[in-house]
Amino acid sequence: MRDTLTLEFCHVSIFDNYIVVVMNEGVNLSPSDNYILLDIANDYFKDKPFVYITHRINSYSVDPQIYYETAKIKNLKGFAVVSSDYKAKRNAEVEKMFFSKPFGIFSELNEAYKWADERVQD
């Protein structure tokens, strides 16, 4: 791990090929929150390919419009959702329709890490 950040609405872990975000319980992720995450991604992965991994431990909501903005990041090679919760995985299936890049849904972080490393190599 290269770095960790604790924000008002989430915890961020930065690795060489991916960023892992754990949202706080009950957060309603807004476009303004997303811009903060986009700035972090730009700071750490300026022109380097990376994958965004959201580890859905807590329950929170996402404005699907966020995915349109996130997909515009040129060096973003994919988006992964990690959760063992059936409902969270079904929600991710809907969110996937708003995202134009590779979108993986996993039960375990290690599966997402492997997938992310493969996306970065493509």
pTM of the model: 0.94
For 47, 61, 70, 99, 114, the CA distances from 25, given in Å and listed in that order, are 32, 9, 22, 24, 27
- Residue 102 confidence (pLDDT): 97
pLDDT tens column, 64-94:
888 888 999 999 999 999 999 999 999 999 9
For residues 14 and 67, which has the higher predicted lDDT (pLDDT)? Answer: 14
What number is the average pLDDT over the span 42-60?
95
Domains in the chain and their CATH numbers?
Answer: 3-121 (3.30.750.24)
Signed CA dihedral, 80, 85, 91, 97: sign only: positive
Top pLDDT among 97 and 1 is at 97
**Does 122 score more than 80 pLDDT?**
no
